[in-house]
């Protein structure tokens, strides 16, 4: 509108750091003022941002305020800052049992209901207090995850027979977070067959909090589980498994789960040992 033409406006930028352990810190704020000069674009000036030296996801919150401090526009932009944090395990190294596979060009691993994913870990050089850190969510099975012969096609295309549009059949689809319709799952972690951890995963959410899953979308016209994210999980590795050359870590769930790599999900962590 022309409500603020000729008046002073203030552009604010707040940098918020999310580290590999999920901690959030607001570490820098900048403000510049300018005069709105009518319709169209107005060059407001430049704001210099300082990136941290640690592994982090930086969200820059942008706000445009009027002379009375009222927010007129909000926006944000994200930056993925990389360094060396722990020993990351590539999701592509998983040995799958059951249905599932990699998504987001290898950045995310889905394991459907009843499946398992096993990683062989080189443990000979790990410290005695080694800990496994990862981001995980539940994973609902969509019809697009199934082979055509496994789908119920009895009424497909015929509304007279009760057919309803199956959004889960669309390769470009992932249901956004919906309160009251959570898909809960329990993830169990084993080391050489011994249970060492169990994690309740409340949902398979997808929204703006899955910043890395948005950030690394390669084709904006065909989204690949965009905005999906999970919960940060930790498990101590028993010392007895750190004395040998190799240890097998197995993730299993009755209802299905997802593991997020360093460039997917909400946290800049990946599947790592620290």
Q: Is the pLDDT of residue 108 over 90?
A: yes
Burial class of residue 69 (count of CB atoms within 10 Å of its CB; 0-12, 13-18, 19+): exposed
Provide the pLDDT confidence category of residue 41 given band limits of 50, 70 and 90: confident
Average confidence (pLDDT) over 104-114? 96
Q: What is the pLDDT of residue 144?
A: 86
Q: What is the pLDDT of residue 264?
A: 97
Q: Is the pLDDT of residue 224 over 90?
A: yes
Q: What is the pLDDT of residue 173?
A: 80
The CA distance from 4 to 212, in Å, is 35
Average confidence (pLDDT) over 27-38? 90
What is the DSSP track for 65-98?
E-TTS-EEEEEEEEEEE----SEE--GGG-EEES
Q: What is the pLDDT of residue 157?
A: 59
Q: Is the pLDDT of residue 155 over 80?
A: no
Provide the pLDDT confidence category of residue 197 given band limits of 50, 70 and 90: very high
Q: Find how far residue 132's CA is from the centre of its chain.
A: 18
The CA distance from 257 to 223, in Å, is 20
User: How far apart are the two ends of the chain, measured CA to CA in Å?
Assistant: 53
Percent of the chain with pLDDT over 90: 63
The CA distance from 42 to 50, in Å, is 24
Q: What is the pLDDT of residue 86?
A: 63
Q: What is the pLDDT of residue 204?
A: 95
The CA distance from 96 to 115, in Å, is 7
pTM of the model: 0.88
């Amino acid at each position: 509108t022309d409500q603020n033409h000729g008046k002073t406006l203030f552009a604010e930028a707040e940098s918020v750091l999310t580290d590999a352990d999920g901690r959030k810190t607001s570490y820098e704020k900048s403000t510049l003022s300018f005069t709105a000069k009518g319709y169209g674009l107005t060059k407001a000036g430049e704001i210099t941002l300082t990136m941290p030296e640690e592994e982090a996801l930086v969200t820059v919150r942008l706000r445009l305020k009027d002379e009375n401090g009222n927010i007129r526009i909000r926006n944000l932009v994200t930056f993925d800052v990389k360094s060396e944090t722990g020993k990351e395990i590539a999701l592509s190294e998983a040995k799958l049992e059951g249905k599932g596979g990699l998504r987001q060009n290898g950045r995310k691993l889905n394991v459907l209901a009843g499946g398992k994913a096993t990683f062989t870990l080189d443990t000979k050089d790990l410290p005695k207090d080694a800990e496994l850190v990862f981001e995980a969510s539940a994973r609902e099975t969509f019809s697009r995850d199934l082979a055509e012969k496994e789908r119920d096609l009895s009424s497909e295309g015929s509304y007279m027979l009760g057919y309803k549009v199956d959004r889960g059949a669309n390769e470009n689809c992932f249901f956004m977070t919906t309160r009251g319709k959570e898909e809960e799952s329990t993830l169990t972690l084993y080391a050489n067959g011994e249970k060492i951890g169990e994690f309740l995963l409340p949902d398979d959410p997808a929204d703006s909090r899955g910043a890395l899953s948005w950030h690394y979308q390669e084709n904006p016209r065909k989204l690949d589980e965009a905005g999906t994210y999970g919960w940060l999980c930790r498990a101590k590795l028993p010392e007895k498994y750190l004395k040998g050359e190799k240890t097998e870590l197995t993730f299993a769930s009755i209802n299905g789960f997802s593991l997020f790599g360093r460039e997917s999900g909400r946290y800049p962590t990946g599947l790592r040992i620290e």
